[in-house]
Amino acid sequence: MSLQLPLIDLLLRWQIKRRFRKNPDVNLLRPLMLQMEPRASKLPVGIACEALDLGGVPAEKLSAPDSRSDAAFLYIHGGGFVAGSPRTHRPLTWRLAKDIGVPVYALDYRLAPEHHFPAGLDDCVTAYRALLERGLPAKSIIAGGDSAGGNLTLALALRLKAEGLPMPAALVCLSPATDMTGSGTSMQSNAEADAIFVPEIMASLMPAYCPGADAKNPYLSPLFGDLSGFPPALFQVGDREILRDDAVRIAAAMKAAGAEATLEVWPKVWHVWQLNADMLPEGREAIAHIVRFARQHLA
């Protein structure tokens, strides 16, 4: 464990978790993430950032000078379906672009509560189709995301299968939310250990994102979907997260369905610790694992 890890853990508990204890509303994520955006959006010299759209979906393309043009990483940011943007996730996405050596297309999909389910998922499908239409073969595309973006990554794969579109080469899911019913045992057993969230936040998630929907709809809760035929997937999650079992159970479900799933449960880290790579050695190490996985599966 690095010296930075317990210090950042304490900071997160003070800055974020205490607020959710007072008001466990997922919509608080938007002002919190807007506050972090100016610092998070800074890019190092040598990383190019291009604003574009993919089939009408706003996105930014991050690339290094030696990025190959025949492959891509489609990245779907987290933020509880109500917050976040490509800019909030640059501490992760620029590293993926540089270290994998492929452009990262970070989506700025529509957010709730202004745009309810399935608007954001529709945007992900549209953007993936646009990459195919640009001439990128599916075997040269990695799809991935964190938290709500991990959910959308898995839901995207389910939609691609249902619509008869080719699957990406692999999936990367970081602390994904896969069960909107909140039935994982870690939801309660990690209530105190989680440095950011409280279980009560789940009560506000469905009304904000998908009011009136069935929480077991596979496009909302991929854990309950047919995962057969899925491409290889990498799951990273912290052992202290309330969402730990969302990753553990879907990795097991993928294996049971005959798909390849690699599960990494990291000790003592928090939700999507990879975003703290600037300060956290464990964040940089986790990204190195993602890079190795992506390179292994890209054509």
* Buried-state track 76-95, b at ≥16 Cβ within 10 A, e below 16: bbbbbbbbbbbbbbbbbbbb
Spacing of C-alpha 78 from chain mean position: 5
265: how many CB neighbours lie within 10 A of its CB?
A: 16
What H or E segment, with its residue span, contains residue 139? none
List 85, 271, 282, 297, catalytic entry = 271
Q: 147 catalytic, yes or no?
A: yes
The string of DSSP codes covering 240-255 is T-TTHHHHHHHHHHHH
List 67, 241, 282, 297, catalytic entry = 241
Quickly tell me which residue has 């991050």 as its tokens: 62
Q: 241 catalytic, yes or no?
A: yes
Amino acid of residue 112: A
Pairing of strands 57-63, 104-107: antiparallel
The alpha carbons of the chain give a radius of gyration, in whole angstroms, of 17
Angle subtended by helix axes 281-297 and 90-100, to nearest 10: 50
List 147, 175, 186, 221, catalytic entry = 147
Q: 271 catalytic, yes or no?
A: yes
Tokens of 103: 């452009």
**Residue partners of 139: CB distance under 8 A and separation at least 6:** 166, 168, 169, 298, 299
Which residues are catalytic, by number? 147, 241, 271
